[in-house]
Amino acid sequence: MFDALLVGLVSVVAWPAIGWLGLGVMIGLYFGAVPGLSGLVGMAILLPFTFGMEPVSAFAFLLGMFAVTTTSDTIASVLLGIPGTAASQATILDGYPMAMRGEAARAFGAAFTVSAVGGLLGAVMLGLSIPIVKPLILSFAQPEFFLLGLLGLAMVGSLSGGSMIKGLIAAMFGLTLSYVGYSVTGGTPRYWVGMTYLLDGIPLIPIVLGLFALPEVLDLAIRDSSISRVPRDQAKSSIYDGVRDAGRHWWLVIRCTAIGVYVGMLPGLGGSIVDWVAYGHVVQSSRDKSQFGKGDVRGVIAPETANNAMKGGALIPTVAFGIPGSASMAILLGALLIQGLQPGPEMLTTNLHITFSMMWTLVIANVVGALLLMVWGSQIAKVTFIKGHLIVPVVCMFVFMGAWLANNSPGDLAALLIFGLVGYLMKQGGIPRPPLVLGFILGPIMEDALHITMSGYTGAELAQRPISMIILAGVILTIAIAARSNLRQRKSADVKKFGETETWDPRISLFMLLVITASFVYALIPAFSWPDDVGRIPMVTTIPGIALCVVAIFLALRRKTPGVENGAVALTAPVLGRATYFFVWLCGAGAATMIAGQLVALPLFMGLYILVWGGYKWWLGAAYAAVGLGFLYVMFDEIVAVIWYPSLIFG
């Protein structure tokens, strides 16, 4: 085994494998940093280039790119409050508030350090765990997957703000949205309202970008200020402060590495909840919880450690048993087959040196990627002090193109704008957005698991599964602890807030609760007429959702002083007016895309924004438009080879 370990290391650092690894790392840093692109998109683009490569070079190229996407995705999460990839959703809860305090460099230092450590230790655990993980993986069946999804929703719902009820409502709402399209079990179309676009469900990327990106962009446009609320000369943090934070919390890094590896190896589920499990762990295990959601560096360290360690764990079922744990791992499984390698015992015996070469690839890629970002981090952090009007058009270009990459359909742009409005109203109403996204991701997994559980297991058999009972106890304990903590904080007038729930408008909150209630009722009514395997899961979701909404609405109407209680602040008419005006601009950009195509509409939007909203000189607007056009052509036409919208004017 030691010989295979050394052979794997030598084969990775030898030429040309090390060159392909370096190229993969550079591509991965970019794909992780740009919202909408991800490790999955990168794997799909790079896979054809591995034909004809030697196995070690091919996996160095693919895994070198894949490993660092969850390191560079911190950039968008911290600077803009936008998850760079699905694995960095929890990072925004404390990373973005740190950027608003002028501590983006500190957040980067901590995140990049623990990403390297987590990725390195995760890869080492991959090597050490191979002989012992088979019984653990095989002991998990569909009942455990359903309960793990429930645990993830309970954890994020209860840890997403001052109101646990609103967090759980958002999680239920996300689950309900995931049922749009053909049902997982019966193939029955649900909630598609006669639109063929919805038959395959709503794509994830437009939802994430709409919920998180557009509200923050809109806020920057309205305030006409930088991301940081603190002047540059008053911001004293540095990259090295974050490195020291990581060293000071070394025991947390070790714990979250273990969480990342062993949750990440769960097929189809680990990558969806690993950052939330780590975030929930650090909140629940900390004595001082007062700063979580306001810029606590521990809230950055925990998820960033876990989501990088998860990569090593995700490789185990793919390589050892041929069970891909995610879409990215499914592509890697295809790469194995292309190279003539068969997942299973051979990868642990005859081809063990190739398995170890994957481990060394993860180690080297994580360390190199983190070091590069540490060098660039201080310069990247300066973006937080740039005037908002200079940032908005660039971010809008990436957001529109990121949404378009989902299906290359006009429906993607419509979904982006709709969920942008929903996200802004949720943010202003104090309803947390992360639980909605997690519910949407877990919906199909939980529906399939529930169907198989109900069909294949009796109540007595479920009661005899100790792992299921342990996870169920964890769900109950999580909700009970969160409810108790919320009650204590309300009595002590020290309600813990998380980012967007710190200040909110009670009128918008009540309006959104009524809208969500109506959505639950709309989803529940047809479920009674569907077959049991199709209508069961919408009933399981919407009935508790309606009950929670009724309680939340009752509490909202009961408040005697809504204008000053629990951080409630009514938005002024001018702010709402400017928000509406900017949303009209975004809709105009979408309409212009239909008429003239992205290569004309997006540069035009960028130039006009600089001239009209920013009030800058005409030459700066022209420069923005020209640079935007050049970037769109080189990146998305020549490299990504995107299918452009066939505009009405240019075809």
Instruction: From 540, 444, 435, 538, select the one nearest 191 (Cα to Cα).
Output: 538
Q: Band of the pLDDT at 521, cuts 50, 70, 90?
A: very high
pLDDT of 593 above 80: yes
Which of residues 320 and 584 earns the better pLDDT score?
584
Contact yes or no for 595/601 (Cβ under 8 A): yes
Which of residues 590 and 71 earns the better pLDDT score?
590
What pLDDT is recorded for position 565? 46
Contact yes or no for 251/297 (Cβ under 8 A): no
What pLDDT is recorded for position 549? 92
Q: Where are the domains of the chain?
A: 2-224+240-567, 590-639
What pLDDT is recorded for position 81? 74
Return the structure tokens found at 203: 């794509």
What pLDDT is recorded for position 517? 95
What pLDDT is recorded for position 138? 62
Which of residues 273 and 301 earns the better pLDDT score?
301
Contact yes or no for 130/348 (Cβ under 8 A): yes
What pLDDT is recorded for position 547? 93
What pLDDT is recorded for position 305? 87
Span 610-618, average pLDDT: 87
Q: Band of the pLDDT at 561, cuts 50, 70, 90?
A: very low
Contact yes or no for 244/253 (Cβ under 8 A): no
SS3 for 344-401 is CHHHHCCCHHHHHHHHHHHHHHHHHHHHHHHHHHHHHHHHHHCCHHHHHHHHHHHHHH
Residue-wise pLDDT tens digits, 447-506 = 888 888 887 777 777 777 887 888 888 888 877 777 776 666 655 544 444 445 556 788
What pLDDT is recorded for position 394? 85
Residue-wise pLDDT tens digits, 126-177 = 667 666 665 666 666 778 778 877 877 777 666 655 567 888 898 899 999 9
Span 531-537, average pLDDT: 84
* pLDDT cut 70: percent of the chain above it: 82
What pLDDT is recorded for position 132? 66
Integer Cα distance of 498 and 290 in angstroms: 10
pLDDT of 245 above 70: yes
One-letter amino acid for residue 22 of the chain? G
Q: Sign of dihedral through CA atoms 529, 533, 535, 539? A: positive
What pLDDT is recorded for position 563? 44
Q: Reduce the DSSP state of residue 269 to 3 states and report it.
A: coil
The whole-angstrom distance between residue 538's C-alpha and the CA centroid of its chain comes to 24
Residue-wise pLDDT tens digits, 183-210 = 877 678 899 888 888 888 888 778 878 8
Looking at the chain, the number of H-run helices and the number of E-run strands are 29, 2
Residue-wise pLDDT tens digits, 116-135 = 888 888 777 766 766 666 56
What pLDDT is recorded for position 523? 93
Span 28-45, average pLDDT: 70
Span 415-433, average pLDDT: 89
- pTM for this structure? 0.76
Q: Reduce the DSSP state of residue 220 to 3 states and report it.
A: helix
Which of residues 359 and 549 earns the better pLDDT score?
549
Q: Band of the pLDDT at 562, cuts 50, 70, 90?
A: very low
Integer Cα distance of 282 and 36 in angstroms: 28
* pLDDT cut 90: percent of the chain above it: 10
Which of residues 530 and 44 earns the better pLDDT score?
530
pLDDT of 417 above 90: yes
Q: Band of the pLDDT at 7, cuts 50, 70, 90?
A: confident
Contact yes or no for 5/127 (Cβ under 8 A): yes
What pLDDT is recorded for position 509? 87
